[in-house]
Amino acid sequence: MGEPKYARIIKKIKSRIANKTYKPGELLPKQEELASELAVSRMTIKRAMDILAEDGVVIPQRGIGTLVRKQPGRPAGQLPVNAYEGLSKDLGVPVTSKVLYFDIHFPDAKVQEALELEANEPVYEIKRLRIVNGEPYGLEHTFLTMKIIPNLDKDALLGSFYTFLKEERGLKVGSQYRIISAEKAGDDDVKYLGSAPDEPVLQVEQTTYLEDGRPFDMSIDHHPYSVHHKYTYLSGKSI
């Protein structure tokens, strides 16, 4: 199994920076140009650029482009990916789950792109309410690759899913790519999180990869505005 497309792009960009094709302080080519040259989607280029920015290699400049950082380096405060073992350990308190929806179907274009699937490769679609100290903590909308995690049942989703993967399936998480934004509360947020209509919720959109580089989990999580959260920003060991 080959490495993810975005990881190959990151290595190529870093190589070009190292050999001075892209010099410190200069602008990189536009994302559209890189996508055309490297025969990948612009979404893949954007993902690579976001991770390079998190790693301190490049600096996005709104309205200008992306600059090569003069002194590349990893920003402070990041943890290695193998420090992340799931929400329960991340928060340091027990987290329980209520499964709201569980089904199997074929992925749409966005899920295909994130999980590197063909249109005829099925996924699990799951919605879970995450509960901390008896209060709603988050609403997860998750898509899992069926070919990597076959024969999954709802019981595995009631506790820590990553612990289940590690202990029951022998699968280890390698990295996560996250985009965090503020969005308006939707109907499910009002119903399950107790958010007011149109109140802001914190949205965390993420794709999770195994140690061998295969993406297996794409999720969009919502968290109520009123809850205090702790987030860990993760990046790949091999990038």
Among residues 68, 90, 106, the one where a domain terminates is 68
Predicted model pTM: 0.61
> Please, which residues have CB within 8 angstroms of residue 228's CB and are 6 or more apart in sequence?
none
**Is residue 46 included in any domain, yes or no?**
yes
Highest-confidence range of 81-85, 114-118, 137-141, by mean pLDDT?
A: 137-141
Do 25 and 114 have their domain in common? Answer: no
Asked whether the beta carbons of 237 and 176 are under 8 A apart, the reply is no
Do 114 and 213 have their domain in common? Answer: yes
How many angstroms from the chain centroid is the CA of residue 116? 13
Domain CATH for 46: 1.10.10.10
Determine the pLDDT at residue 25: 81
What percent of the chain lies above the pLDDT cut of 70?
Answer: 82
Do 92 and 160 have their domain in common? Answer: yes
Do 22 and 93 have their domain in common? Answer: no
Do 135 and 28 have their domain in common? Answer: no
**Is residue 229 included in any domain, yes or no?**
yes
**Is residue 102 included in any domain, yes or no?**
yes
Do 93 and 198 have their domain in common? Answer: yes
**Is residue 74 included in any domain, yes or no?**
no
Q: What is the domain extent for residue 14?
A: 5-68
- Please, what's the largest Cα pairwise distance for the chain? 55
Highest-confidence range of 84-88, 105-109, 169-173, 204-208, by mean pLDDT?
A: 105-109
DSSP per-residue codes, 125-154:
EEEEEEEETTEEEEEEEEEEETTTS-S--G
- Given pLDDT bands bounded at 50, 70 and 90, which one contains residue 66? confident
Token pair recorded at residue 105: 């179907």
Q: Which contacts qualify for 32-35: CB closer than 8 Å, 24 or more apart? A: 34/9
Do 86 and 202 have their domain in common? Answer: yes
Cα distance between residue 60 and residue 66, in whole Å: 4
**Is residue 64 included in any domain, yes or no?**
yes
Do 139 and 62 have their domain in common? Answer: no
Cα distance between residue 167 and residue 140, in whole Å: 22
Domain CATH for 91: 3.40.1410.10
Cα distance between residue 209 and residue 176, in whole Å: 6
Domain count, the chain: 2
**Is residue 73 included in any domain, yes or no?**
no
- Given pLDDT bands bounded at 50, 70 and 90, which one contains residue 232? very low
Residue range 199-221: mean pLDDT, rounded: 87
Token pair recorded at residue 109: 């274009």
Asked whether the beta carbons of 32 and 39 are under 8 A apart, the reply is no
Asked whether the beta carbons of 223 and 138 are under 8 A apart, the reply is yes
Asked whether the beta carbons of 59 and 53 are under 8 A apart, the reply is yes
Give the pLDDT confidence of 131-185 residue by residue, as tens digits.
988 889 999 999 999 999 999 998 888 878 888 898 999 998 877 778 888 999 9
Do 106 and 221 have their domain in common? Answer: yes
DSSP state of 22: S
Cα distance between residue 164 and residue 26, in whole Å: 46
Asked whether the beta carbons of 111 and 144 are under 8 A apart, the reply is no
What percent of the chain lies above the pLDDT cut of 90?
Answer: 47
Residue 235 pLDDT > 90: no
**Is residue 16 included in any domain, yes or no?**
yes
Cα distance between residue 233 and residue 34, in whole Å: 26
Provide the residue type at 98 as one letter.
Answer: K
Asked whether the beta carbons of 5 and 35 are under 8 A apart, the reply is no
Determine the pLDDT at residue 79: 36
Do 133 and 60 have their domain in common? Answer: no
**Is residue 45 included in any domain, yes or no?**
yes
Phi, psi of 216 (to 5 degrees): -135, -15
Do 37 and 108 have their domain in common? Answer: no
Determine the pLDDT at residue 57: 84
Do 59 and 88 have their domain in common? Answer: no
Among residues 21, 49, 68, the one where a domain terminates is 68
Residues comprising the chain, all counted:
239
